[in-house]
A and B are shown apart, each in its own frame.
With several copies, the nearest count.
Chain A
Amino acid sequence: MELEQIYTQIITENSRSKEHKYAVKDATQVVEGVNPSCGDEISLQLRVKDGMIEDAAFLGDGCAISQASANIMIDLIKGKSVKEAEHLSNLFLGMIKGEVTDDGQLDELEDAQAFKDISHMPARVKCAVLGWHTLQDAVTKAEKATS
């Protein structure tokens, strides 16, 4: 996909969406992530109950890529199990690293597949993965909390 298309697709759909931008009520996990290359920060908030993500949202500003990626991520994980979220984040990071390339497998990522070509822009990879890395931290904490 051309860079311009990625941008167009990403923003029209996601980057300026406010849908998932709020503080989660009674959040069980609030995890901060930071992109050292630009200082952008994200606060990921989950409410997990019985292993299910009842609610998920994020706060913070950042570039279009990080915002859109986080927005799509929340779309995907809300209402899913923590295990499932973990699986998706592994899949996403695997895709970005170029380790998972099978389109069949990647279908699960739905809109997040748009970031596949970001691996050609190493300087922006950190933007695309910011939300997902933060999710991994949150998942680890959620699993610890229940074990």
Chain B
Amino acid sequence: MTDTIKTQFPLLQQKQNGKPLVYLDSGATTQRPQAVLDAVKHFYEQDNANPHRGAYELGERATAAYEGARAQVASFLNAQKEEVIFTRNATESLNLLAYSWGLHNLKAGDKVVVSILEHHSNLIPWQQVCHAVGAELIFLYTGQDGVIPDEEIEKKITKGVKLVACTHVSNVLGLVSPVEKIAARAHEVGAVMVLDCAQSAPHLKLDVQKLNVDFLAFSGHKLYAPLGIGVLWGRRELLEAMPPFLTGGDMIDSVREQDATWAPLPQKFEAGTQNAGGAVGLAAAIRWIQSIGYETIEKRENDVYRYLWDELAKMPHITLYGTPEGQHCGAVAFNVEGVHPHDVSTILDADAVCVRAGHHCAQPLLTHLGLRACCRASIAVYNTREDVDALANSLQKVRKWLGYGT
């Protein structure tokens, strides 16, 4: 109970109905450790000014804090600083790509490939671009187990495909996608490869030199950082060739009445006053993660993940989705027989157990699996086997509440 990691999270110390809070919705957003809250507080109490705008000392501290955060993210990803664009969240990062890369590189008849596992944020922007330019949107389907078969990759990613966008980890099934194969195949046919790392960044070490992708997006708030800060990483040549997305202050080189020229990377893509406090929080979150180390994180999370899967698998009247095979992280999806997922979530909540119910912003996947909604328990590094026990205990009650015998 006095887990040294969990104790660093103020929010997780609270009780609800007299019971310790069991937060199993980190796939939606994580909680923040004290170190992150303190870093943001320090910024606002000591260093706050508009980055890049003030030539006075306070302004320089603000700029240093903001650009220092970028350097931190760059080293975290093993990337160059200029390739790191700060956005609001993964959704904005992906929209930036769709508008700026997509609208300017795709044309009628081109093909875009996404997987059926995608979160709406890595799907609708591509639907929109395809509609706008007349390109075709093609899906990599999974089996009922949630796994994309090799043949599917071979068959769908072919000549004429200009862009492949795929999630690194499914936010519903927790399965790690075969990124290596997909990226290799995408590059073989000359397509650009976009990786949605919203669900992988908190769990797996990301190295853009090794991942062999061209763009990558994630959200700070799923990575122990504050809300309102996200990242788009892209290969320099590609980013340089792209037109800006948002325009306005700070992203310009010079402005005349009828036209303007753009600042070099990364400013070109950062219009207006940026969320420096959020960036500082993200840098602190990364330092916090690095102080634990991904090796420890993976070991700890794997243990809890396996325990979670096995405990639920043992229970009667519970259906698990996906497969226990292969590499997983974060999420486990399930349903309780005869009980609507929203009722499950409400009933668990009475025991202070937080899980999410619904389509998890992945409606096409749920439709593909023959579902309308399901429950999802998702974990982060602060979760423990005790949290899983609390979930399992509470799950025992669900059917009884609804008048079933067992």
A–B direct touch in complex (beta carbons closer than 8 A): yes
Residues of A within 8 A of B (CB): 3-4, 7-8, 11-12, 15-16, 34, 36-40, 61-65, 121-124, 127
With known contacts A38-B358, A124-B55, A8–B63 Cβ distance under 8 A: no
- Within 8 Å by CB of A63, from B340, B363, B401, B403, lies B340
Q: In the bound complex, what is the Cα–Cα distance between A3 and B254 (angstroms)?
A: 30
Q: How far is the CB of B324 from chain A (nearest CB, A)?
A: 27
Do residues B340 and A36 form an inter-chain contact, with CB atoms below 8 A? no
Q: In the bound complex, what is the Cα–Cα distance between A104 and B328 (angstroms)?
A: 56
Q: In the bound complex, what is the Cα–Cα distance between A127 and B63 (angstroms)?
A: 17
A7, closest chain B residue (CB): B401
Q: How far is the CB of A62 from chain B (nearest CB, A)?
A: 6
Any A CB within 8 A of the CB of B389: no
Any A CB within 8 A of the CB of B64: yes
Q: In the bound complex, what is the Cα–Cα distance between A122 and B343 (angstroms)?
A: 13
Residues of B within 8 A of A40 (CB): 340, 372-373
Interface centre among A7, A34, A121 (most CB of B within 10 A): A7
Q: What are 22 inter-chain pairs, A to B, with CB distance below 8 A?
A: A11-B401, A11-B402, A12-B403, A36-B263, A37-B358, A38-B372, A38-B373, A39-B372, A61-B340, A61-B372, A63-B342, A64-B343, A64-B402, A121-B60, A121-B346, A122-B63, A122-B64, A123-B59, A123-B63, A123-B342, A124-B55, A124-B346
Do residues A124 and B402 form an inter-chain contact, with CB atoms below 8 A? no
Do residues B55 and A123 form an inter-chain contact, with CB atoms below 8 A? yes
Do residues A63 and B350 form an inter-chain contact, with CB atoms below 8 A? no
Q: In the bound complex, what is the Cα–Cα distance between A75 and B149 (angstroms)?
A: 51
- Interface positions of B from 34 to 73, Cβ below 8 Å from A: 52, 54-56, 59-60, 63-64
B67, closest chain A residue (CB): A122
Q: In the bound complex, what is the Cα–Cα distance between A15 and B253 (angstroms)?
A: 26
Residues of A within 8 A of B108 (CB): none
Do residues B64 and A63 form an inter-chain contact, with CB atoms below 8 A? no
Q: In the bound complex, what is the Cα–Cα distance between A38 and B366 (angstroms)?
A: 12
With known contacts A122-B60, A123-B54, A3–B263 Cβ distance under 8 A: no
Do residues B340 and A123 form an inter-chain contact, with CB atoms below 8 A? no
Do residues A39 and B401 form an inter-chain contact, with CB atoms below 8 A? no
- Within 8 Å by CB of B402, from A7, A36, A37, A123, lies A7
Any A CB within 8 A of the CB of B357: yes
Q: How far is the CB of B329 from chain A (nearest CB, A)?
A: 26
Residues of B within 8 A of A (CB): 52, 54-56, 59-60, 63-64, 253-254, 263, 339-343, 346-347, 350, 357-359, 363, 372-373, 401-403
With known contacts A38-B358, A39-B363, A123-B55, A4–B401 Cβ distance under 8 A: yes
Known pairs A38-B358, A64-B402, A123-B54; list 20 more (Cβ under 8 Å). Answer: A7-B347, A7-B401, A8-B401, A8-B403, A11-B402, A12-B403, A16-B403, A34-B254, A36-B253, A37-B52, A37-B55, A38-B341, A39-B358, A40-B340, A62-B340, A63-B343, A122-B60, A123-B56, A123-B63, A124-B55
Q: How far is the CB of A57 from chain B (nearest CB, A)?
A: 20
Residues of A within 8 A of B350 (CB): 3-4
Q: In the bound complex, what is the Cα–Cα distance between A62 and B339 (angstroms)?
A: 9
B255, closest chain A residue (CB): A39
Residues of A within 8 A of B54 (CB): 123
Q: In the bound complex, what is the Cα–Cα distance between A121 and B55 (angstroms)?
A: 8
Q: In the bound complex, what is the Cα–Cα distance between A38 and B361 (angstroms)?
A: 10
Interface centre among B56, B64, B372 (most CB of A within 10 A): B372
Residues of A within 8 A of B55 (CB): 37, 121, 123-124
Interface centre among B64, B346, B359 (most CB of A within 10 A): B346
Residues of A within 8 A of B343 (CB): 7, 63-65
Q: In the bound complex, what is the Cα–Cα distance between A124 and B363 (angstroms)?
A: 20
